[in-house]
Amino acid sequence: MRLWAEKGTRPRAIRQQPFEYSYIFGAACPATGQAVGLVLPCVNRAAMEAHVNAIAEQVPDGRHAVLIVDGAAWHSEKLKPAEGDVAQVATLFA
């Protein structure tokens, strides 16, 4: 970092502190208003699997959920299937 200062002095420089990030995964049913969400420290396939499983836990027996995702790397076709009936539709916006 460069700063202008008088010769022979040490200027004080305020440095931006690094941030910690959180990622919100959420889903909602427009018909019932029921929602599920997770706040996670990272985004990867394991986080996506946790999100899909959280959704599956909230889907009642005999009902289905459709999850629309984009083409991000963690929205992989190699995701393990959820415990319930959750289908991924990943190519709608391709």
Q: What does the pLDDT look like over 33-53, one tens digit per residue?
A: 889 999 999 988 888 889 989
The CA–CA distances, whole Å, from 89 to 44, 46, 53, 64, 66 equal 18, 18, 16, 13, 7
- Band of pLDDT at residue 69, cut at 50, 70 and 90: confident
**pLDDT at position 93:** 37
CB atoms within 10 A of CB 39: 9
- Band of pLDDT at residue 85, cut at 50, 70 and 90: very low
76 versus 15: which is more confidently predicted? 15
CA dihedral over 92, 64, 38, 75, signed as positive or negative: negative
Considering the chain, what percentage of its residues have pLDDT values greater than 90?
13
Confidence check: pLDDT of 80 > 50: yes
Q: Which amino acid is at 58?
A: Q
d(CA 79, CA 72): 12
**pLDDT at position 40:** 94
- Find the angle CA(30)-CA(34)-CA(40) to the nearest 5 degrees: 105
**Per-domain residue ranges of the chain:** 23-89
Asked if 26 and 37 touch (Cβ cutoff 8 Å), the reply is yes
